[in-house]
């Protein structure tokens, strides 16, 4: 009989990397379905093309041997879906494919694959296309267009390496003005038109150029947080900090600044807070660090949105916070058991069943020396006789 | 969800909930027959190794001392069977290397009764007398650490003990020996608690039991009630929420009193002494009879055992004999673990004997282990599961990355590696399948060797 020798622990929890990633993909599917429901065929094709481009790039780098992990771990699918959700639905498909390639190649493979990336790969891809194709990424189309399940938004089918065709004529043919395609954030920024927060919350009313419903994303995120596939602290910190900052500015000047609910539910803040910022590899592992990281993202988002030339700021805020993550972790290391300030005072915490004996406190007050762990080696050779 | 446990006010922060798998929680303790040969290793505890005081060929009676030491931090050994000393020398040890042992061949016709012990009256014994009696009995902590009990119960001069905490948590999956002892030997346990209280001068004793063993609490409360008024002080039995690693004394004190034992200190710095239920129940039986520790309750369990149960096993019984009796089919069992599955040690050979600190023998079958071999090891994805589960509040993720880079000094100086007590929660939860605690063990060993060589 042969027996195995291993080092303890000999049992293992059931959680695996594949399981975590698979659940994130499951939870993204309703969000993607809603996106397709809003924008029709173009959105569906955009999701598919970007995801397949991410998967092929991942496969290429895994084959090359330069990166760990495999396409079987579902992480490239998450990158692809999130990237597609953060792009306009009518984004030219060839540009989407480029975004996917850049996301995996520069955002992930360059650093060594899963777990080693410093920045969220999906946002690296989006940041690249934002710089390379500024016109295409700013071109949104209204949601719930009639006939969206039978025809493509014309810009989707742009010939590779060409600039997208204008959607203005296509919109005018359907009795929409050219401005119908602007996102609520862009409308507020450039025209001073404020959308109603309730409408933003569901994304269901009218032909707004918005992403999937924030409520749906929050529900899917709540499922993940409940199953502990993402840490609830990060979205809570982001939304709290963004809401608080926006509310303070709103209280200072309610003409210049929009109300905080508009700030929370417009643009990609909810998607970013729930799915992008909580990317495990690029967020801090320490509980305190998660609060700092989230607060930083919320603050930066509001500042970029209010003061910069860009309507949207979530992407840059998350990328900057990703860069700050190692530093945040370094200054927020957890306090080990028995090394905290509270423990030195001998103070009792919540959940205690018995009081400490009163003799203990008075003994400390009397200045008795507490023996350290080393006392055993300084002991006399025989037990004391009383 | 951790948020919920915060609102519930759970005992100690973090920790894990492995499946309990207590197969033998309701089977009575049974007695194992005597093996034809027993092997008593001289080093079964923390501290100095005692010297043999018998010769090869000498007849020994069950219960007779066979090894002794004058060192304070050491305990004597007693003959587990009546028989003839056959061999004194090196034999396979539990940790791998061969160790100095005494091999005794049992007399086939002997009644195997303990004729050596002399009953005594300890009603008026002082604390010092009891400590001496405990020392003579060769008692060590039966929970697994095997620290000499008389040393643990000796209160340093400058300290004062007010509370004796009795550890009945048994948080390890599979193990049930402490549970059965609490249910079946509750009276002996209360007697043992009274001796320990007298030895330490404690005026209060609290038995902390995880809430998956309600019958143990009932049994102990009944035993306390049967005693009437206990002259040494008050004894309570208390339920604490089930969670691994509650059996660590720091965690149990946190659960019962809500106070952290300062890092580097023993519970005695807060006026407490923590002891295992198995140890105190054994004291309650051995001290009045004047006997030595020659047998203990061992849980023999696991998917590879046909007759799992808690057995009274004479110390020194070879593992092979124990497993044959309990029905562990040899061809299928792939791993034999001494202790619990979270912190136990894999046996290197089936020729090693049962020792004083061994609380369980866990036999895993090959098919139970097969899935583990197919699990892939990923790089750390920084999911923070380990940080959320480390009961000592360390950052295993960071420590693991430093260990991979062999930055052992940094681990010890900046990331509190010394606080790790190797409970294995981090490795248990790691979705990337990284052997975190295994790396920490190596790192701690290297740091210890460095400290010695300096």
Domain contains B141? yes
Q: In chain A, which residues have their Cβ closer than 8 Å to the Cβ of B254?
A: 337, 349
- Nearest Cα of chain B lies from the Cα of A217 at a distance, in angstroms, of 20
Closest residue in A to B364 (Cα) is A10
Question: What are the backbone dihedrals phi and psi of residue B100, each rounded to the nearest 5 degrees, phi first?
Answer: -60, 125
- Nearest Cα of chain B lies from the Cα of A110 at a distance, in angstroms, of 15
CATH assignment at residue B241: 3.40.50.11540
Q: In chain A, which residues have their Cβ closer than 8 Å to the Cβ of B379?
A: 68-69, 112-116
C-alpha B159/C-alpha B139 separation (Å) is 23
Q: Is B1 in contact with A226 (Cβ distance < 8 A)? A: yes
The pair of structure tokens assigned to B232 is 């040494």
- Please give the DSSP secondary-structure letter assigned to residue A355: P
pLDDT digit string, tens, across residues A246-294: 999 999 988 888 888 888 888 889 999 999 999 999 999 999 999 999 9
Q: In chain B, which residues have their Cβ closer than 8 Å to the Cβ of A333?
A: 395, 398, 415
pLDDT band at A83 (very low <50, low <70, confident <90, very high): very high
Q: Is A8 in contact with B206 (Cβ distance < 8 A)? A: no
Domain contains B373? no
CA quadruple B13, B16, B17, B21: dihedral positive or negative?
Answer: negative
> Do B142 and B274 have their domain in common?
yes
**Which residue in B259, B263, B416 is closest to A356 by CB distance?**
B259
Residue A367 has what pLDDT?
A: 43
Query: Average pLDDT, stretch B236-250?
Result: 86
Query: Average pLDDT, stretch B392-415?
Result: 90
- Nearest Cα of chain A lies from the Cα of B266 at a distance, in angstroms, of 6
Task: Give the whole-number percent of chain B exceeding pLDDT 70.
Answer: 94
Which residues are CB-contacts of A114 (< 8 A; sequence separation ≥ 6)? A17, A67, A68, A69, A73, A75, A108, A281, B378, B379, B381
Q: Which of B254, B271, B289 is the last residue of a domain?
A: B289
Q: Is A381 in contact with B9 (Cβ distance < 8 A)? A: no
Pick from B432, B429, B444, B441: nearest CA to B15: B429
Q: Which residues 138-197 of A are in CB contact (within 8 Å) with B?
A: none
CB B83 within 8 A of CB B104: yes
Domain contains B411? yes
> Do B261 and B409 have their domain in common?
no
Domain contains B162? yes
Neighbours of B30 (CB within 10 A): 15
> Do B285 and B403 have their domain in common?
no
Is the CB of A373 inside 8 Å of chain B's CB atoms? yes
Q: Is B392 in contact with A69 (Cβ distance < 8 A)? A: no
Residue A318 has what pLDDT?
A: 95
pLDDT band at A354 (very low <50, low <70, confident <90, very high): low
> Do B413 and B265 have their domain in common?
no
Domain contains B149? yes
Query: What is the domain count for chain B?
Result: 2
Task: Give the whole-number percent of chain A exceeding pLDDT 90.
Answer: 42
Domain contains B302? no
Q: Which of B270, B289, B308 is the last residue of a domain?
A: B289
Q: Edge-to-edge strands of the sheet including B309-314?
A: B30-31, B309-314, B295-301, B360-365, B333-338, B345-346
CB A11 within 8 A of CB B341: yes
> Do B282 and B391 have their domain in common?
no
Residue B444, classified by CB atoms within 10 Å of its CB into exposed (0-12), middle (13-18) or buried (19+), is middle
Q: Which of B258, B289, B320 is the last residue of a domain?
A: B289
Q: In chain B, which residues have their Cβ closer than 8 Å to the Cβ of A351?
A: 9-11, 255, 258
Residue recorded with tokens 């038995």: B207
Q: Is A73 in contact with B257 (Cβ distance < 8 A)? A: no
Domain contains B212? yes
**Which residue in B163, B261, B336 is closest to A357 by CB distance?**
B163
> Do B390 and B271 have their domain in common?
no
Query: Average pLDDT, stretch B116-137?
Result: 84
Q: Which residues 73-112 of A are in CB contact (within 8 Å) with B?
A: 73, 112
pLDDT digit string, tens, across residues A31-43: 999 999 988 898 9
Query: Average pLDDT, stretch A7-13?
Result: 84
pLDDT band at A66 (very low <50, low <70, confident <90, very high): low
pLDDT band at A57 (very low <50, low <70, confident <90, very high): very high
Residue B218 has pLDDT above 60, yes or no: yes
Task: Report the largest interatomic distance among the alpha carbons of chain B, rounded to a whole angstrom.
Answer: 65
- Nearest Cα of chain A lies from the Cα of B61 at a distance, in angstroms, of 28
The boundaries of the domain holding residue B405 are 385-453
């Amino acid at each position: 009989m042969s027996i195995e020798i291993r080092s303890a622990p000999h049992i293992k929890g059931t959680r695996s990397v594949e399981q975590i990633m698979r659940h994130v993909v499951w939870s993204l599917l309703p969000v993607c379905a809603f996106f397709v429901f809003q924008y029709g065929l173009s959105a569906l094709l955009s999701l598919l093309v970007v995801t397949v481009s991410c998967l092929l790039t991942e496969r290429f780098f895994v084959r090359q041997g330069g990166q760990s992990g495999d396409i079987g771990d579902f992480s490239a699918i998450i990158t692809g879906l999130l990237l597609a959700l953060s792009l306009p639905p009518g984004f030219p498909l060839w540009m989407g494919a480029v975004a996917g390639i850049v996301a995996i190649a520069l955002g992930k493979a360059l650093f060594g694959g899963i777990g080693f990336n410093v920045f969220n790969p999906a946002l690296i891809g989006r940041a690249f296309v934002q710089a390379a194709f500024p016109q295409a990424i700013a071109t949104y189309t209204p949601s719930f267009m009639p006939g969206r399940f039978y025809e493509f938004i014309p810009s989707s089918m742009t010939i590779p390496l060409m600039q997208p065709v204008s959607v203005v004529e296509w919109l005018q043919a359907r009795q929409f003005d050219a401005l119908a395609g602007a996102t609520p954030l862009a409308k507020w920024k450039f025209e001073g038109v404020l959308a109603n927060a309730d409408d933003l919350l569901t994304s269901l009313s009218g032909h707004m150029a918005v992403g999937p419903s924030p409520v749906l994303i929050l529900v899917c995120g709540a499922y993940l947080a409940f199953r502990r596939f993402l840490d609830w602290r990060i979205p809570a910190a982001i939304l709290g900090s963004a809401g608080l900052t926006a509310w303070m500015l709103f209280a200072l000047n309610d003409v210049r600044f929009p109300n905080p609910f508009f700030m929370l539910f417009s643009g990609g803040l909810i998607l970013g807070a729930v799915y992008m910022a909580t990317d495990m590899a690029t967020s801090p592992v320490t509980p305190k660090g998660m609060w700092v990281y989230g607060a930083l993202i919320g603050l930066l988002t509001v500042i970029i949105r209010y003061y910069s030339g860009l309507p949207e700021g979530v992407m840059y805020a998350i990328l900057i916070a990703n860069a700050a993550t190692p530093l945040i972790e370094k200054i927020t290391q957890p306090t080990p058991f028995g090394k905290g300030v509270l423990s030195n005072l001998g103070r009792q915490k919540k959940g205690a069943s018995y009081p400490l004996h009163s003799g203990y406190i008075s003994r400390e007050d009397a200045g008795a020396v507490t023996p350290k762990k080393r006392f055993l080696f300084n002991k006399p050779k025989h037990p004391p006789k009383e | 969800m951790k948020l919920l446990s915060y609102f519930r006010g759970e005992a100690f922060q973090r920790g894990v909930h492995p499946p309990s798998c207590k197969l033998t929680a309701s089977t009575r303790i049974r007695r194992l027959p005597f093996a034809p040969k027993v092997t008593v290793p001289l080093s079964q505890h923390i501290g100095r190794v005692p010297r043999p005081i018998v010769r090869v060929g000498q007849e020994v009676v069950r219960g007779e001392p066979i090894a002794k030491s004058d060192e304070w931090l050491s305990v004597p050994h007693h003959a587990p069977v009546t028989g003839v000393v056959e061999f004194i020398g090196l034999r396979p040890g539990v940790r791998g290397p061969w160790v100095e042992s005494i091999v005794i061949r049992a007399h086939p016709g002997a009644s195997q009764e303990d004729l050596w012990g002399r009953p005594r009256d300890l009603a008026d014994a002082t604390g010092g007398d009891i400590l001496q009696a405990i020392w003579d009995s060769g008692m060590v902590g039966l929970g697994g650490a095997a620290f000499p009990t008389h040393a643990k119960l000796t209160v340093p001069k400058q300290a004062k003990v007010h509370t004796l905490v009795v550890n009945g948590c048994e948080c390890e999956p599979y193990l049930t020996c402490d549970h059965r002892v609490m249910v079946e030997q509750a009276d002996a346990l209360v007697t043992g608690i009274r001796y320990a209280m007298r030895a330490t001068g404690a005026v209060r004793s609290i038995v902390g039991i995880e809430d998956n063993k309600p019958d143990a609490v009932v049994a102990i409360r009944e035993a306390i009630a049967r005693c009437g008024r206990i002259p040494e002080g008050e004894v309570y039995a208390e339920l604490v929420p089930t969670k691994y690693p509650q059996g660590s004394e720091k965690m149990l004190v946190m659960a019962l009193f809500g106070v952290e034992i300062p890092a580097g200190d023993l519970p005695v710095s807060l006026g407490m002494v923590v002891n295992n239920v198995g140890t105190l129940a054994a004291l309650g039986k051995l001290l009045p009879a004047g006997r030595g520790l020659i047998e203990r309750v061992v849980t023999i369990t696991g998917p590879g055992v046909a007759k799992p149960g808690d057995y009274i096993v004479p110390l020194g019984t070879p593992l092979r004999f124990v497993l044959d009796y309990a029905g562990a089919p040899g061809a299928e069992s792939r791993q034999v673990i001494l202790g619990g599955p979270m912190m136990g040690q894999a046996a290197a050979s089936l020729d090693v004997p049962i020792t004083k600190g061994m609380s369980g023998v866990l036999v895993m079958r090959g098919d139970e282990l097969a899935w583990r071999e197919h699990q892939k090891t990923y790089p750390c994805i920084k999911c923070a599961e380990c940080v959320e589960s480390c009961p000592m509040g360390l950052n295993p993720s960071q420590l693991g990355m430093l260990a991979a880079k062999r930055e052992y000094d940094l681990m010890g100086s900046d990331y509190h590696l010394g606080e790790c007590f190797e409970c294995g929660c981090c490795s248990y939860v790691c979705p990337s399948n990284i052997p975190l605690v295994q790396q920490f063990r190596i790192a701690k060993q290297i740091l210890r060797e460095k400290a010695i060589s300096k």
